Amino acid sequence: MKRKLIAFDWAIKRLLRSKANFGILEGFLSELLKEDIFILEVLESESNQDYQRDKFSRVDLKVRNSNGETIIIEIQYDREFDYLQRIFYAASKAALESMQAGSEYADITKVISVNILYFDLGIGKDYLYKGSPRFIGVHGHDLLQLNDKQKKLFQKNTVEALYPEYYLIKINSFNDIAKDTLDEWIYFLKNEEIKPDFTAKGLKEAEEKLSLMKLPPEEQAAYERYQDDLHYQASMFQSTFVDGYLEATQDIALNLLKKGTSIGVVSEVTGWSATELNALALKPADQ
C-alpha cells in the first residue's frame, strides 16, 4: 500500500512556512535551481496570504534565500490565458517591494519566479521551461556582457542574472519516468508518492513530515475538507466551462453543417469526429 502523502499545495499553505520544515522546500529549490538553496525567512505580502481555494486558484509562497534573492512559488490549477503576463507583474512587484526609499537601482533584489502548473500553458513538449531576459546584437548576434566594474557593483557575472528568472513546470506534461533527482521531485508533485529509491534533496524529509497519518487529528480533518473542496471545484468546472464549451461547439457544428460545409472541414474546426457529426446532423432540433 502506498504511503499517503498530502498534496504539495496544502503543505505550502500549512506546513512549509514553518522554519522547522524549510528543508523540504530547500531541497526542491536546490534540485530545480541546481545550487544549494538556504531559506532565511518567509516574506509576507498581499499576495502571500492563506486564502481558500474556492476564492483563488493559486497558492503563493514568497521567501528570501541566503543569497538575498526573493523566490516566489505559485501553484496554479485552473487555466489562465494571461498567466505569462501575471507572473511578469508579480515578479516586477516583488522586485520593487525590495527597494528602500532613496536607494539606487543597483539595490533591486533578484527575483526567481517558480510556477507549478497543473494545466497546459502554451505550446511545448517539455515539462520544464526557464526564461530570463537576454540582450542579443541585432546585426552581430553577440550576447551583451557586463564589464568588470558592473560585475563588482552588482555581484553578478551576466546581464541575464540581473533580471527576474522564470521557471514554468508543466506537471501534466511529465511522463512519470524519473531520470534524475529533479524528475523525482516532479513525480512527487504529480503523484503525491515518493518511491523508495528516490534520493533527491528534501524528499526523505517530505516523506517523513508530509505523511497524512502523522498529522494531528484536526489537521487531518482540515485536509480531508480541502480534498472535498478540490472535488467540488472540479465538478463545478465540468458543469460550467466544459459543458458550456461542448454546447457552443455543437451549435457551431450544426450551423456549419446547415450551410453545406463538409464533414471534414467541420471536424477540423470543432474537433468533433465524423461519426459524432453525422449523429449530430440526424439529431432532432429540440434535443
3-state secondary structure (DSSP) of residue 61: strand
| Maximum average pLDDT range among 167-181, 202-216, 227-241, 269-283 | 167-181
Dist. CA 33–CA 222, nearest whole Å: 32
pLDDT bracket for residue 227 (50, 70, 90):
low
Full residue range of the structural domain in which residue 227 is found: 219-282
75 and 107 in a single domain? The answer is: yes
Mean pLDDT value of segment 76-94: 87
Per residue in 168-185, pLDDT (tens digit) is: 999 999 999 999 999 999
Residues 176, 248, single domain; the answer is: no
Q: Tell whether 116 is covered by a domain.
A: yes
Confidence of residue 273 (pLDDT cuts 50, 70, 90): confident
Residue 61, domain member (yes or no) = yes
Q: What is the pLDDT of residue 36?
A: 94
Q: pLDDT tens digits, residue range 7-47?
A: 787 788 777 888 888 999 999 999 999 999 999 988 865 44
Residue 28 lies in a domain: yes
Stretch 196-223: mean pLDDT: 83
251 and 161 in a common domain = no
- Comparing 186 with 122, which gets the higher pLDDT? 186
Asked whether the beta carbons of 263 and 279 are under 8 A apart, the reply is no
Residues paired with 41 in a beta bridge: 64
Is a pLDDT exceeding 50 seen at residue 57? no
257 and 139 housed in the same domain: no
Whether residues 142 and 223 fall in one domain: no
Residues with Cβ within 8 Å of residue 102, at least 6 apart in sequence: none
Q: Round to whole Å and give the CA distance between 65 and 107.
A: 16
Percent of the chain beyond pLDDT 70? 83
Q: Do 40 and 138 share a structural domain?
A: yes
Is 1 domain-assigned?
no
Residues 6+ apart with CB under 8 A from 95: 70, 108, 109, 111, 164
175 and 257 in a single domain? The answer is no
Residues 36 and 177 in one domain: yes
Please state whether the predicted TM-score (pTM) of the whole model is above 0.75.
Answer: no
CA distance 247 to 228: 28
Is 201 found in the same domain as 246? no
- Round the average pLDDT of the chain to a whole number and report it: 82
Q: Would you say residue 164 lies in a domain?
A: yes
C-alpha torsion angle, residues 100, 101, 103, 105 (rounded to 10): 80
Q: Is the same domain home to 102 and 230?
A: no
Domain count of the chain?
A: 2
